[in-house]
Amino acid sequence: DTGVSQDPRHKITKRGQNVTFRCDPISEHNRLYWYRQTLGQGPEFLTYFQNEAQLEKSRLLSDRFSAERPKGSFSTLEIQRTEQGDSAMYLCASSPSGFAYEQYFGPGTRLTVT
Amino acid sequence: AQKVTQAQTEISVVEKEDVTLDCVYETRDTTYYLFWYKQPPSGELVFLIRRNSFDEQNEISGRYSWNFQKSTSSFNFTITASQVVDSAVYFCARTSGTYKYIFGTGTRLKVLA
């Protein structure tokens, strides 16, 4: 299977700890996106990469959040000093370049902050 | 805010019934795309359809059909002869700019055997 993969699938952490999630996109896709989904809501856009360049960050992405995509392949999303409000599903998606191609989503990382 | 509204929070139907999921969107863009995704209990969003704003033809794919009406800013999704495996949360989304998606809050569909 060559879909989008995310690791870990679940993460439980204590408030104040740092966590890092990884996303491996579909290999030929040069666009990569991070979304956050809370219970009963649709995914909300966090950030977007075109190859290794981070081209947009949502205002939802506070200073405690940082994302990277070195070499334009996999991406990491780090949350520093986690808060209970960070508990959510973090979804990664990828797509080819071009206008509004469909995005293919990974299975997500469910974060629980205790 | 230019949002996507899925007014039906949850729908329950009996297997083999037809069901329509509503989606109404707001946008100031002249060119945009609309999407439907399925999120089964496993959690992974599965792409179902993409439709651009210039194409108002209805589309049918097996038991699925989509009705796009630009005049009412609606993009409704119908499942014919529903099956238990159709049980999932369904999301409607539209583009914001060239790549970002704005999602609705989803409709949870329960198909009862």
- Minimum mean pLDDT range among A5-9, A51-55, A100-104, B101-105: A100-104
Minimum Cα–Cα distance from B41: chain A residue: A107
Give the mean pLDDT of B11-31: 95
Q: What is the DSSP string of chain A?
A: --S-EEE-SEEEE-TT--EEEEEE--TT--EEEEEEE-TTS--EEEEEEETTEEEEE-TTS-TTEEEE-GGGS-EEEEESS--GGG-EEEEEEEE-SSTTPPPEE---EEEEE-
Residue B98 above 80 pLDDT? no
Minimum Cα–Cα distance from A99: chain B residue: B98
- Is A53 near chain B, with CB under 8 Å? no
Q: Do A107 and B42 touch (CB under 8 A)?
A: yes
Residue A96 above 60 pLDDT? yes
pLDDT digits (tens, 9 = 90+) for B74-84: 999 999 999 99
Minimum Cα–Cα distance from B101: chain A residue: A45
Q: How high is the pLDDT of residue B1?
A: 63
Q: Which of B35, B44, B50 shows the shortest C-beta gap to A107?
A: B44
Residue A1 above 60 pLDDT? no
